[in-house]
Structure 1
Amino acid sequence: MPGEASRGDDELLAHIAAGGQAALSELMARHGRGLRTFATRYLGHAADAEDVVQEVFVTVWKQAARFDPGRGRASTWLYRITANRCIDQRRRRALRNFFGLDDIGEEPATPEVNAETATAARQELAIVRNGLSRLPERQRMALLLRAVGELDIGGIAEVMGTSAGSVEQLLVRGRRTLKDHLADAAQGRERKSS
């Protein structure tokens, strides 16, 4: 239909609430990748993130009528649902780990053209992921919502159910801790190479 590509998220949610599957598909195409990236970074596992995003869009399908555009942006609502599902997924994973039920291996590496560059990039990424995983949960979530979700301070505060000032503090502390971790890792590499 003409003009449908330009529909806003609020309009899409209204169509979804009325049973519009095409609107859900459009919303998934528009936000699925960003939500998946956020969930993957937060959880550290692509398969878990995929499950989370599927749960998010099932929730959107069932609860689109509950979205109130007067209370915030649709994208913020989607990230709030995703953040909550990520927290639930981490709890499930912790429970599976506790009982020894989690036997998920690493994803297979893809062949790279320049092996040395790829190895260095993987090492850097591993250091950043390690640093993120060591952050307190709320700092990690705030940083990822800012970096991956591209939400502003107000949007992050809305997703996390806190004040803008608290978000700013979480971001400052999280960035400082992550920066310190990266500096420590760089010093460790320098010591090993000398």
Structure 2
Amino acid sequence: MTQADNRPETEWVALMAALAQGDRQALQRLMQRFGPGVTRFSAAMLRRPEEAEDVVQEVFLRVWQKASRYDPARAAVSTWIYRIAANHCTDRNRRLGVRHFLGLDAAPDPVDDHPPAEYDLAMRQRLGLTRAALHHLPDRQRRALLLRASGELSTREIAQIMGLSTGAVEQLLIRARARLRDQLKEIDP
């Protein structure tokens, strides 16, 4: 890795140090850089994608609160942030499962049958099929695939987030893509 390749990570580490000192602008810069990817990742991981914005707020609140605990020797900034996001998504899904089990979510949320006019019907249907297929993937395969696609993270970063080797992540990604392709062929030949 050249020094130019390392510059962005050095910048994010410096922002984390500034954030640990209470610099709100550092948080804003981190949110600008990582917020869109964390939002996409959260929407895809959650049982209720509409809760993604709430999760993103919780994630960056946690980043703000725990900035002094960040250790650049242990993980890249992106890895640390996405691990927080993955944990929040898992916790939120678990709470939703408990609420459903207890009957607290007996009435489903109303579904808007009128999709936005700016989207083409065929593309919305394909997206829906893809999301359904994603939710049928095993959790680890889905998480690895979403971190790659939504978070635009490297295999090494995904491995750190998931606590796996890079080889294991590569295998998860290969299996996830193959299984996703097979599921989509079955649904939409």
TM-score (normalizing by structure 1): 0.85
Could you tell me which of 59, 63, 68 is aligned with 2:66?
A: 63
1:38 Cα deviation from its structure 2 partner = 0.6
Match of 2:109 in 1: 104
Segment drifting more, 174-183 vs 19-28: 19-28
Q: Do 1:17 and 1:64's aligned partners in 2 also have CA atoms closer than 8 Å?
A: yes
Could you tell me which of 88, 91, 101 is aligned with 1:88?
A: 91
1:105 Cα deviation from its structure 2 partner = 3.1
Q: Do 1:52 and 1:82's aligned partners in 2 also have CA atoms closer than 8 Å?
A: yes
**Pairs within 5 Å for 1:109-128:** 109-112=114-117, 118-128=120-130
Distance in 1 separating the partners of 2:183 and 2:87: 27
1:156 Cα deviation from its structure 2 partner = 0.4
Match of 1:51 in 2: 54
Q: Do 2:47 and 2:93's aligned partners in 1 also have CA atoms closer than 8 Å?
A: no
Q: Do 1:133 and 1:140's aligned partners in 2 also have CA atoms closer than 8 Å?
A: yes
Aligned alpha-carbon RMSD (Å) = 1.8
Distance in 1 separating the partners of 2:40 and 2:161: 16
- Summarize deviations over 1:8-57 as a string: whole Å, max 9, x none: 21111111111111211221122111101110011153432112111111
Match of 2:5 in 1: none
Match of 1:190 in 2: none
Task: Please tell me the residue identity of whatever aligns with 2:103.
Answer: G
Instruction: Structure 2 unaligned segments of length 5 or more: list them.
Output: 1-7
1:63 Cα deviation from its structure 2 partner = 0.7
Distance in 2 separating the partners of 1:132 and 1:53: 21
Distance in 1 separating the partners of 2:66 and 2:113: 36
Distance in 2 separating the partners of 1:108 and 1:53: 26
Distance in 1 separating the partners of 2:39 and 2:122: 25
- Summarize deviations over 1:90-131 as a string: whole Å, max 9, x none: 101111111222343335644325xxx721111101110010
TM-score (normalizing by structure 2): 0.88
Structure exhibiting the larger radius of gyration computed from Cα positions: 1
Match of 2:14 in 1: 11
Identical counterparts, % of pairs: 46
Distance in 2 separating the partners of 1:47 and 1:111: 15
Instruction: Structure 1 unaligned segments of length 5 or more: list them.
Output: 1-5, 188-194
1:76 Cα deviation from its structure 2 partner = 1.2
1:181 Cα deviation from its structure 2 partner = 0.4
Change (3 A) 1:153 1:8: same
**Which 4+ stretches in 1 moved above 6 angstroms?**
none
SS of the residue corresponding to residue 153 of structure 2 reads coil
Distance in 2 separating the partners of 1:66 and 1:109: 45
SS of the residue corresponding to residue 8 of structure 1 reads helix
Distance in 2 separating the partners of 1:149 and 1:107: 28
